[in-house]
Each structure stands twice: as C-alpha cells, then as structure tokens.
Structure 1
Amino acid sequence: MNFPSWPALLVVDVEGNGANPPDLVEVAALPVRDGQPDTSTAGAWLIKPPRPVTPFAARVHGLTNQVLDGKPGWEEVQDQVHACLGTAWITAHNAHVDYRVLSAHLPQWKPAGVIDTLRLAKATYPDLPKYSLDALIEHVSPDLSQAPASGRHRAPFDAYATAQLLTAMATKYANWEQLVAAAVPPGLPGAPEAEQEPTLW
C-alpha cells in the first residue's frame, strides 16, 4: 500500500448524550498522513448538549452533565468542526452512525467518501467471532502507546485506535482503489459505482 498516494483523510469519532436522535457531546477528527495518525493537527471538541446526558451514556463515556457544564454549545463550535472536516474522506468504525449524526448536525458538509473500518475488518479478517473496536484492538494489537490519555469510549482515543486499525488493515490491500472497494458501504459517499450491464441501446 502506497500511503503517500492517499487523498486527504480524517478518522472521526463522535459521542452522544444518549437521546434519540443524539445530541453531540464530543467530536474528534484525526488526520492520517503517510500511514500515521497526525495528532499535532487533530481536532477535538467537548460540547454541552441542549438535552441532558442520560445516565447510560454517561456510564459509557464518562461525560456527565457536570463535566460538560460550561462547555460551548454546538452552535459555537460547528463552524470549527466543519472547517476541520472540509471535503476530506472520513473513516469511522461502524461509519454509518458517525456519518449520519455528523450530517444531521452539519447539513452543508459533504465528505469525499466514507470508509468504514467495521466493513473493512469483515473483509480483511473474515473469520473473527466479533468485530467490535475492542475485539479488533485485541486481534490486531495496534500500537496505542501514543494514544490520547482520555481512554476508551472517548472520541480522541477511539479515533486514534481506529486510525491505527485502518493503517494495519490497509497493508493487506495493493492500492487505494482496492481499499475503497472493500471499505465503503453502498450508498455512502465514495462508494464505487456498480458496473452497468451492457445494453443494446
């Protein structure tokens, strides 16, 4: 895999308040350059949601209403997030979720494409019993020594872990086009066009 040939790509992760549909409480966007996560230019935002964080969500990510009290609301950071994302490709684990939530909060945002590391893992490691982020971290054993100190289930850490999993799996593919074919879910931006059957007219 020729990593320098990749287009601009950000690994994203979002955390919500547990409502349906969710309000964002944390967003992380981590560029991948030459096959390495670039933490020096990463973006991360804590956000006070308009509705309280549910007890279940707070137990998962630790972002309680007290932690988020005094943080900016979404309207205060949305332009920063949009500028950071730009029109780059994004990667996320179970990317439908992150893409759907971000798109709902940023209606004008149009990424070049969406790579799903869950879909990629199923193509790369077809015999695993589970494909959760934890299961893949255990299977791949990526280097997380430089991961953000926030820890698992926080957006900066999960984005870093996903970036390391992405580049580890990408080495199994000859080029970017093969990676895209395996990793972009149908119907999401960047999905390869289905070949048309030839017709007589």
Structure 2
Amino acid sequence: MDTSTWPRLLVVDVEGNGATPPDLVEAAVLPVVDGRLDTGTAGHWSSARPPGSPRRSRPRPDRPNPFGRCPPWQPSPTGTDLLGGAWICAHNAHVDHGVLTRHLPGWAPAGVLDTLRLARATYPALPSHSLDALIEHERLDLAGAPAQRHRATFDAYATALLLLALARHYPTWDAMAAVAVPPGLPGEPQREQEPTLW
C-alpha cells in the first residue's frame, strides 16, 4: 500500500485507572508519516499537567488509582489542536476514543482505525488478537520502543508498528478502513443504500 496517500494519522494510547468508565492516567500520541513512526513529534503526558504545558507530564484523574490520589486533568486547547482534524488509531479503539472524547470536549477525530478489528479481519484464525499475541505473531521489533508494556508510549509504538504490518495486506487506505473503522465511530465507510421502488 502507498502510505504517502494516507490522511494525517496519529496512533494513540491511553492508560486508565481501572474505573468504569476509565479515567485518564497517561496518554501518548505518535504520528505515522509516510509509513514511518514520527517519534520526533510524538507527545506523551504523564502527570498533572495537561497536553500543551511546557513540560511533558501525566494527566491524572480525580478518583483514587494505583498511583495515588491526584488532581483532575484539565484539557488544553493545544491538546485538542494536536488531535484535531486527524485520524486516530488504537488497539481496541473504542476505549481510547471514549476516554479522549470525555476529556476533550468538542474534539472529534476525522476517523478512527482499530488495529484489533483490523487484525481480526486479517488473521481470523489466530487464537488471540490481543496486542501481546499480535506483537509475537508479527515479530515486531520493539527495541526502539520507550518505557515498557502497558505504558502509553510503549503501547502506542507497538500499535503503530502493528498497523504498518497489517496495512501490507490491503491495497488501499479505503480497503483497510472498510474493515478497521468500528461501527458508529468517525470514518465509518458510507454504505450504498439498497435501491427501493419509490
């Protein structure tokens, strides 16, 4: 697939505190440009400062979590601007999309790709489509990944590599998006309506 034709795409990962719905504890954003991970403009927030603050930090919820009690994350216009107008991609994307939309009022991505849906369509016979199982199946080289598994930066990096590996199975962006966009989320392909008699 010609990745130069892809729209602006950000791979995202959010880590929550285990609540239902999950509260935001950590977030990472990794642009994919021309089939490469753009780590130079990636974003990571892992404290009480919101995106766009002078120092990168972690957004924390206002409920107790494994890291202790901390103040709520106040979204900034810069965070919304960073994500605005772009497609996002995540593994099990409805969770990440839901957390981000709750924390960034008024934000909506151009579209949402889900590597979980994409992997299920690409490899229906695999016994598991977890991120760990797909990392192993695709033999992804994670030597350059920051942090460790289950941290937002690592998981965004792994998801971006997974997306690029899965994209090789599809001839065009539209073909990939047709199976990777979860129903009801932005970017869902328009289905042709059945002709009627009237």
TM above 0.5, one fold?
Answer: yes
* 2:178 alignment partner in structure 1: 181
Q: Which amino acid is 2:124 matched to?
A: P
Aligned length: 186
Q: Which amino acid is 2:79 matched to?
A: V
More helix by share: 1
Gaps of at least 5 residues in structure 1 are 59-63
Identity %: 63
Local SS of the residue matching 1:65: coil
- Give the Å deviation of 1:73: 4.2
Local SS of the residue matching 2:113: strand
- Give the Å deviation of 1:86: 1.3
CA distance in 2, matches of 1:27, 1:92: 12
RMSD: 1.4
* 2:48 alignment partner in structure 1: none
- Give the Å deviation of 1:48: 2.8
- Off by >3 Å, runs of 4+ in structure 1: none
* 2:53 alignment partner in structure 1: none
TM-score, with normalisation over the residues of structure 2?
0.89
Please show how residues 102-181 of structure 1 align to structure 2 within 5 Å: 102-148=100-146, 150-181=147-178
- Give the Å deviation of 1:87: 1.4
* 2:11 alignment partner in structure 1: 11
User: 1:147·1:161 contact (CA, 8 Å) conserved in 2?
Assistant: yes
CA distance in 2, matches of 1:184, 1:48: 28
Q: Which amino acid is 2:95 matched to?
A: V
Q: Does 1:31 align with 2:31?
A: yes
- Give the Å deviation of 1:19: 2.0
Q: Does 1:74 align with 2:86?
A: no
CA distance in 2, matches of 1:82, 1:91: 16
* 2:43 alignment partner in structure 1: 43
Q: Which amino acid is 1:129 matched to?
A: P
Local SS of the residue matching 2:76: helix
Q: Which amino acid is 1:48 matched to?
A: R
Q: Which amino acid is 1:141 matched to?
A: R
- Give the Å deviation of 1:177: 0.6
CA distance in 2, matches of 1:38, 1:50: 32
* 2:81 alignment partner in structure 1: 83
Q: Which amino acid is 2:173 matched to?
A: W
* 1:61 alignment partner in structure 2: none
CA distance in 1, matches of 2:175, 2:18: 36
Q: Does 1:196 align with 2:193?
A: yes
**Farther-moved stretch of structure 1 (85-94 vs 20-29):** 20-29
User: 1:43·1:84 contact (CA, 8 Å) conserved in 2?
Assistant: no
User: 1:11·1:92 contact (CA, 8 Å) conserved in 2?
Assistant: yes
Q: Which amino acid is 2:73 matched to?
A: W
CA distance in 2, matches of 1:141, 1:7: 26
What's the CA shift string for 1:120-178, capped at 9, x where partnerless? 00011111000000000010011212111x10000010000000000000011101110
TM-score, with normalisation over the residues of structure 1?
0.88
* 1:101 alignment partner in structure 2: 99
